[in-house]
Structures are given as C-alpha cells and as structure tokens.
Amino acid sequence: MYEFDQTDLFSNGWKEIPGGFTGASPGTVSPLSFVGPFIPSSQDKVGLRIIVNAGQVAFIYGLDPIQTAGAPILLRVTVRADAPGAAVALAALKGDLSSGQAVDGSIATHIPATASSLVEGERRLVLLYQPDSPDVVTPIIQVAATGQSGAVSVFVDKMDVLRLDLSVSYPGSIFSSSPAEGLPPAPSTPTPVFPTPTPIGPTPTAVVPTHTPTTVPPQVTPTPGIIPVTEQEPNDSQAQAQNLGGLAPGGTINVTGRATSGGFQEDQEGNLRYIGDADFYSFNISSRLSVGFRLDWTAQADLDFYILSGGQVIDKEDSTNRPAVLERTLEPGDYLLIIISYDNPSDYTLILTAGGIAGPTGAATPSAAYPNDVSLLNGTFYQDGDVAFRYEFDGEGGYQFIGYTPLSGDVVMEQGTYSISYPLLILNHDGQTERHELKFIREDEISLDGRIYVKG
C-alpha cells in the first residue's frame, strides 16, 4: 500500500514526469498534504495534493514495478477534487518505467471524463489489469486540466495494490468505487503484493504464532503509580511471556525493550507469516478499566502491537502511525500483549495507563501551563503558511471540523461528539471513531498526530 505519508515524492516510492508524456506545462505535486477535510475515510489524514491550472498536466509513477506473478493486478486509489475542471487518470503501464525495461506502450487506464464526480465526495478509482509477459507493471496517476481557467486541487489519500488469485471468486465490493467497501474475509482476500525494495501491497494482517492456553501466571497485587519494567529475554512465545503484574486504577506500567528483528515471509500456501522477534507480555486487571496503550520507538521502523484475551486477538494497532496508540475498556482478567516489527529492529517504550493514555513520562495530564481544555483547539490552524483546518468545540461534547478550499471557502466537513484522554483526542462522527494524538506546544501551536500546526 502507498500511504503517501512521507515528506517528498521519492520517499513515497514515486517520481514525477513534469507535464507527462505530452510535454505539457507541469502541474504541482505536494506530498504530505493535509487531506482530512476532503477525504473523511483517511486514517492518517495526509496524502498528496495535486494542483493543475489551465493547460497543465501532473504525472507521477511508482518507482518500483509491481511483480504480477502472472495474476491480475487490482489498483485502487482514493481521491477527491475541489472543482470539476480536471481529468484524473489511474493507469497501469506494462513494464518498468524507471528503467525502460519491457515498456512497449501497452497500458490500461481508468479515466473519468472530468473530476465533477469527485467533487461531491471522495471516490475510489479502480483498475484491473493483467499484462502478458513479462509480469511487471508500473502504476501511474495523472491529473490533466480540462477547464480554461482556475486551479483544480485533487487530493489523493492512498493507493493499494492487490494480486488476485484466478482460482478464487471475489465479491463485487472489492471493485467498488466507495472507499467504505472493504476486502472480503479470508480465504477470498487477495494476496498482498510486495515488490522490492518498496512494499506496495496492502499492509498485511500479521500472522502471530498460534497460542494455546497455558497456565495463568501468578497474579501480582497491583499498586497505583508508575512501575518501570525492563524487557527480559526470552519472551518470544505465550509460554515465555514476561509477567508485568497487575495494573491498578490510576497506575502506569512503563516498559522498555527491543525488537531485535522484523519482517514477513510468504509461506507455501501464500499466507504472510511473521518471521521477526515477537515480544510477549502478560498483565492482569482486577476491575473494569479503560486502559491506554502507547508504543513508541527510536529507529526507522514500523512497530505494531496486539492485545489478546483467552488466546484471541481482541484489539490491535497495526497502522503506520508513530507512536502507536490505542485505548480500550477491559474487563477484569488476564491479558497478553505482543509487540512485533513490520520491518526493522528498534528499541521501544511501551506505556500502559489505567484511565487513559500516558505521555512519554507516564503523566496522565498535559503540562500545567496548558489545561486539558479543547478551547485551545478552537480556531483556524495553518501548516507551512496554508490554511489546514478549523475546529469549533462547544465545550459540551459537540464539535465541528471545518475545511477550506479557495473556491468554496469554509465547508463543514464533519460534526459529532468529542472526548479527551490526554494526549488522545477522540472524535465520533458518521458512525465512526477517530483517535488523534494531541500535544499542546504553546497556546497558539499544537502537534496533531505528530504534525505541527499554528493557530492563526
């Protein structure tokens, strides 16, 4: 999967051909743009912003070709536009465009006539392509201006690439233009594609070692306060799980450890199996608690964690977010927590807090200089001088999220209810729940999901 969450196009695994194959005047491609107001389904709220004026063409392609292994490839990209004056194309070019190998001009495209259908709401462009030999294709996104005046911004959240098994029947939902339509359950889930060196298949569901019930570790009487814990190897299985003891109301457990390796490997059945270092921890609670989990790490890696009860995964944080944060209400009982690395080794810090998510020091409240008050979020915020968004909180549990475009001005993108378990801002709207890591830097400056915004 391409998340388009890096600071430059090359780091996202893509490259631009200014003006495209026609040599037209080039448009502008801005990585790490805030797309949240325009694409509500976006998990990380960032992506590409592609801007074209009259006569301009913006053209980008994947640096690493997709290995099809003789199977059909399904490309899906989530987009939205702020005006109809552009044609957005999703394409698959036979061969490796970076090297020119096997490029003979064969190409499959999905090109809505104009971007008018993308203005009313987000849409997923879908393209199915199976080239002949050789089994490599290059993904392409192109935005070409069709109007005679005015700029058009096209927002791109992500692209996923799925290799379909010809022996399997798939429901029509995976080909839907609605981003809300998900993948079918196994065994009909398409095989994720991971070309080397940049992974561009959908993020795999981690296959953790099979867990069989074992003797429950002796319970430790929980006490409030911060309990520092250092990882003790071996803790590579459920039977070897390191016992963190009991988590008391108001208590915090601060674990420091290291994932010594990471990565996945496809087995003979085509399933992705985790082959890296898995760190197992057990803990227990004696009363119903809201428990916050915060996993942060030091290296260029992607660490994830899974929470198990009775040998079954009950929750997980396996996105690319750093830090990985999660809050869940747990019933009294014994729990297992597993930490893995999607790719590289790294040192990490895991914080469990009863009553909410703790910051790096285990504190459950922000700096005394800034109260735990969403009124600090009321107002218009800017990123790199451009309007990013505006929040309006009523102080009674309701909020509005207002986006801005040059053509339409302020637009209410979502509204719902909110709560704060610092540093987590929890927003509920349209039947879904969003969790954002919030930090107050100054009275006019915040960090939201690790990105800095300044109040205007």
* Calpha distance 233→112 (Å, rounded): 56
What is the pLDDT tens value at each position of the chain, 456 positions in all?
A: 788 877 778 888 899 888 887 778 889 888 766 666 678 777 777 788 898 888 899 999 998 888 888 888 889 999 988 888 888 999 998 888 887 788 877 888 888 755 677 887 888 899 988 877 668 889 999 998 887 777 888 889 888 888 888 777 777 777 777 765 443 333 344 444 433 333 333 333 333 333 333 333 333 344 445 688 999 999 998 889 999 999 887 778 889 999 999 988 877 777 778 888 999 999 999 888 888 888 999 889 999 999 999 878 888 888 888 888 888 888 899 999 999 998 999 999 998 888 643 333 333 333 333 334 566 677 777 765 665 667 787 767 788 887 655 555 566 777 888 776 656 777 888 777 777 777 766 667 777 776 677 777
The pTM assigned to this predicted structure is 0.44
* Calpha distance 127→114 (Å, rounded): 17
431 CB contacts (<8 Å, ≥6 apart)?
none
Bridge-partner residues for 412, per DSSP?
402
b/e sequence 206-231, b meaning 16+ C-beta within 10 Å: bebeebeeeeebeeeebeeeebebeb
